[in-house]
Amino acid sequence: MAEGEKSTLRARPALERIMRIHQAVLNDERPTASAMARVLEVDRRTITRDITFMRDRWNLPLEYSAVQGGFIYTGPVDALPGAVITEGELFSVLIAEKALQQYRGTVFERRLKSAFDKMTEMMPESVTLNLDDWSQSVTFRSSAIANQDIDTFDILARGVTQQRQIEILYRKPRAKKYEKRIVDPHHLSCIDGEWYLFAYDHKQRAIRIFKPTRMKDISMTGASFERRKSFSLDKHLRGAFGVFTGDTNFDIVIRFSPDVADYIREKEWHQSQQLMELKGGEIELRLQLSSLVEIQRWILGWGGEAVALEPPDLVKSIKRTGKALVKAHQ
């Protein structure tokens, strides 16, 4: 971080101090900078910066009155402009808080809960939303939640944000043994409820995808790295239906029955998608992907309501899998 950025962060006043100053002035206590510094256990210069911020950035009519011996508002002030939250905004925050519950077990859980609790404690009296009623009215559920190791996730998060190299033992799917990997962590992403680490793998000499749930014995190597300018998550996943990508471009064509056509219309399944309405209520979905792995699983999940038409490799693979499923259930 640049020196100028550090100075800006130090100069930013804490909301809690500003609210205490605001309340003291509003209660006609005529506070002085020295008095507020003693109450809030900071130096006088910090309070002076806070007052300057309130006056210059929030345009509050806050002035020192020598006659009254302290700071007063010289005009009407209903609420702090930077701390007002409407019921609509609170609704959005509550939805986000509920949605984030699916990420419990990560390094963010405790910090997010703490931040949310602080926001709700600072709600103005004008907000009359009953939080207990809300908790009983809206929930988010996931069919499966990954078992994240919080210590592993903490190291990964620090590695990504601080650009620190990491050593891990990693087990590939169906593999029995763990392999040692040295990686430069570039990006953590939660995709369809699963966390993935996008990192430069020094063994493969390329960006690879790792699942934190398949890691163990993770540690910092002590080395730092420069994030590769060529890496872009959007570009990396452009041809993926989830996270898997390949070197071949496939034009996918799938026909859906009238019974599930509405479900297909209601979502954007991929940025390349094109929908075509067919006779009888059927609908055709076209996609451009670079891997067939995840799209095949998705099509099979629709049972007989979805039929793969293109490409031939996808059609053949689904037929083989279908025969294997029938045989396994006989």
At 286-299, the pLDDT tens digits run: 999 999 999 999 99
Instruction: Give residue 221's pLDDT.
Output: 94
Q: What are phi and psi of 165, to 5 degrees?
A: -70, 145
For residues 161-165, give the mean pLDDT.
Answer: 93
Are the C-beta atoms of 200 and 184 separated by less than 8 Å?
A: yes
Q: If residue 256 lies in a helix (H) or strand (E), which one and from where to where?
A: strand 250-256
Instruction: Determine the pLDDT at residue 65.
Output: 92
Q: Which residues contact 133 (CB under 8 A, 6 or more apart)?
A: none
pLDDT at 14: 65
pLDDT value of residue 11:
33
Q: Is the distance from CB of 252 to CB of 288 less than 8 angstroms? A: yes
pLDDT tens digits, 188-227: 988 887 889 999 999 999 999 999 999 999 999 999 999 9
pLDDT at 10: 35
Q: What is the pLDDT of residue 123?
A: 55
Handedness of CA 4, 10, 16, 19 (dihedral sign): negative
Mean per-residue pLDDT of the chain: 83
Q: Is the pLDDT of residue 301 over 90?
A: yes
Neighbours of 169 (CB within 10 A): 15
How far is residue 246's CA from residue 242's CA, in Å, rounded to a whole number?
12
Is the overall model pTM greater than 0.85, yes or no? no
Q: Helices H, strands E: what count in the chain? A: 12, 11
Which pLDDT score is estimated for 152? 86
DSSP 169-202: EE--TT-SS-EEEEEEEEEEEEETTEEEEEEEET
Gap between the Cα atoms of 185 and 223, Å rounded: 12
pLDDT of residue 2: 41
Q: Average pLDDT of 162-188?
A: 94
pLDDT in tens, 74-119: 998 876 665 555 556 666 666 666 666 655 655 566 666 776 666 6
Rounded percentage of the chain residues whose pLDDT exceeds 90: 50
From 78-92, 145-159, 169-183, the region with the lowest mean pLDDT: 78-92
Give the model's pLDDT for residue 202.
Answer: 95
User: Contact 207/200 with Cβ under 8 angstroms?
Assistant: yes
CB contact at 8 A, 202 and 182: yes
Give me the residues paired with residue 194 across strands.
191
Confidence of residue 330 (pLDDT cuts 50, 70, 90): confident
Most confident of 56-60, 121-125, 149-153, 158-162: 158-162
Contact yes or no for 291/244 (Cβ under 8 A): yes
Q: What is the pLDDT of residue 329?
A: 86
Segment among 87-101, 174-188, 249-263 with least mean pLDDT = 87-101
Q: Scanning the structure block, which residue is given the tokens 């962590």?
A: 185
Other beta carbons within 10 angstroms of residue 57's beta carbon come to 11
pLDDT value, residue 153 = 83
